[in-house]
Structure 1
């Protein structure tokens, strides 16, 4: 088995496990160690593959638990009937135990078009669905943006609302966007999102912080409490 993982800086970490009949670590755990030894921060994506034509292989339960605790925002490459796809690790372990002392540093993903607005504090909130985020320091990751990639920030609050009840004031919209346009945009971004679905309004600042302070909140958010 071999595994590869990418961190928020875009670095790729690779590793293989060495099979022995007495047992040993899976390739995913070996690559976690390799990334840690290289000083990597939170991991963004991870994939593992087997030899002898086995191809892409999803993590076992032990590896999944380790990933959830240490890198709760990582996306995992898994095989499907339609080909490889990426899934959040929490989707692979929806009802599992979350280790509250893991002290994992969190990632909040944004489309790269929002970098300038967030970096200049013109955008200080986002509306999310089925994407648990806790108030705590985090790395803001701008996907597919090799020029900027990340900002350090802090999630300051998370408010829960029904989609059909959102107002422009609650979502902190500027004058150029109406609440109806926002709702339509969210339903386009999240196919199948019903009008009575629960969404979260997340506010944030761009600044540094201590990731240790978010361990309890992260556990509550991931466990759904």
Structure 2
């Protein structure tokens, strides 16, 4: 169910779309809701060079009228039918770049619903994430050995890393997410066949056979000639209290 403020936002977008629809250049309207409760409208404008979507228009009006009042929600309506429609891929990306938490009112089989923009664009390019340390996702069972220093390596296939700042991330079965600051110190490409006992020990295993067993569990179709990345790392100064937070 929508909140009353989102229902009013849909009404504003619908009125704008229906009233200004010309079945040609202006067929879609968008309404933005700001954190202070202000509504900002936009209208699609088409021309031979492409034009701009209703979302683009509304974002431009927002930037001109109240740039310091963050956008909290958005919805878009097709003028000829009065139906709520989802933003196109380009507009989804623009909204994601502004704030992944912006609520977008869309329609599915159950009716109107509000979802974060981040959920509208799986595998999106997130320019904020590019600036953050690379994330190394680990099984929660490895946390103790990483913290006590007995595991200083991970072996990956089709999961590339590079030397530099990193975060080791444990997504636990209870929903908790724990991160430990780290630095990737080296990445060495090695075939499965050429992995060594020393690499097994750096990975926290007592023998090469144990390492092979673990790899075969993670990657069931491994062949002798398959290439692996041996990723060595050191954990940061907050090893004693790696940040923990609940999944939103």
Q: Specify the TM-score bucket, using the shorter chain as the normaliser.
A: 0.5 to 0.7
Query: Within 1, Cα distance between the matches of 2:94 and 2:110?
Result: 19
Corresponding position: 1:66 with 2:125: yes
Shift of the 17–133 alpha-carbon distance from structure 1 to 2, 3 Å rule, reads farther
Per-residue Cα deviation, 1:86-136 (whole angstroms, up to 9, x for no partner):
xxxxxxxxxxxxxxxx53431110111111211222211111111111111
- Give CA deviations for 1:6-60 in whole Å, capped at 9, x if unaligned: xxxxxxxxx75422569776456535533589xxxxxxxxxx9952329999866
Rounded Cα–Cα distance in structure 1 between residues aligned with 2:209 and 2:202: 11
Matched, 1:114 2:142: yes
CA contact (8 A) 1:171 1:201 kept: no
User: How far did residue 158 of structure 1 move?
Assistant: 0.7
Structure 2 counterpart of 1:135, from 153, 163, 170:
163
The total of aligned residue pairs comes to 152
What CA deviation, in whole Å up to 9, does each residue of 1:164-223 have, x standing for no partner?
Answer: 1111113434796221221232122112122211001111111169xxxxxxxxxxxxxx
Q: Which has the higher contact order (CA 8 A, sep 6+)?
A: 1
Check whether the contact 1:157–1:202 (CA below 8 A) recurs between aligned residues: yes
Let me know the Cα RMSD of the aligned residues. Answer: 4.0
Q: Do 2:93 and 2:124's aligned partners in 1 also have CA atoms closer than 8 Å?
A: no
Cα distance change of structure 1 residues 140 and 173 upon mapping to structure 2, 3 Å threshold: closer
CA–CA distance in 2 between the matches of 1:54 and 1:166? 53
Instruction: Give me the whole-angstrom Cα distance separating, in 1, the residues matched to 2:230 and 2:99.
Output: 36
Does 1:201 pair with 2:230?
yes
Given the alignment of the two structures, is residue 103 of structure 1 paired with residue 160 of structure 2, yes or no?
Answer: no
Alignment partner, residue 167 of structure 1: 196
Q: Distance in 2 between matches of 1:49 and 1:32?
A: 18
Structure 2, unmatched stretches of 5+, are 1-71, 80-86, 239-248
1:33 aligns with 2:90: no
**Does the 8 A contact of 1:187 with 1:194 survive in 2?**
no
Query: How far, CA to CA, are the matches of 2:91 and 2:153 in structure 1?
Result: 39
Distance 2:204 2:135 in 1: 29
TM-score by length of 1: 0.53
Give the 3 Å change call, closer, same or farther, for CA 17–172 of structure 1 in structure 2: farther
Aligned partner (choices 181, 189, 193) of residue 210 of structure 2 = 181
CA distance in 2, matches of 1:66, 1:153: 24
Residues 170, 119 of structure 1: CA spacing in aligned structure 2 closer, same or farther, 3 A cutoff? Answer: closer
User: CA 1:17 to 1:199, structure 2 compared with 1: closer, same or farther past 3 Å?
Assistant: farther
Question: Is 1:153 aligned with 2:182?
Answer: yes
Q: Is the 8 A contact 2:153 2:233 kept in 1?
A: yes
Give yes or no for contact 1:28–1:59 (8 Å, CA) kept in 2: no
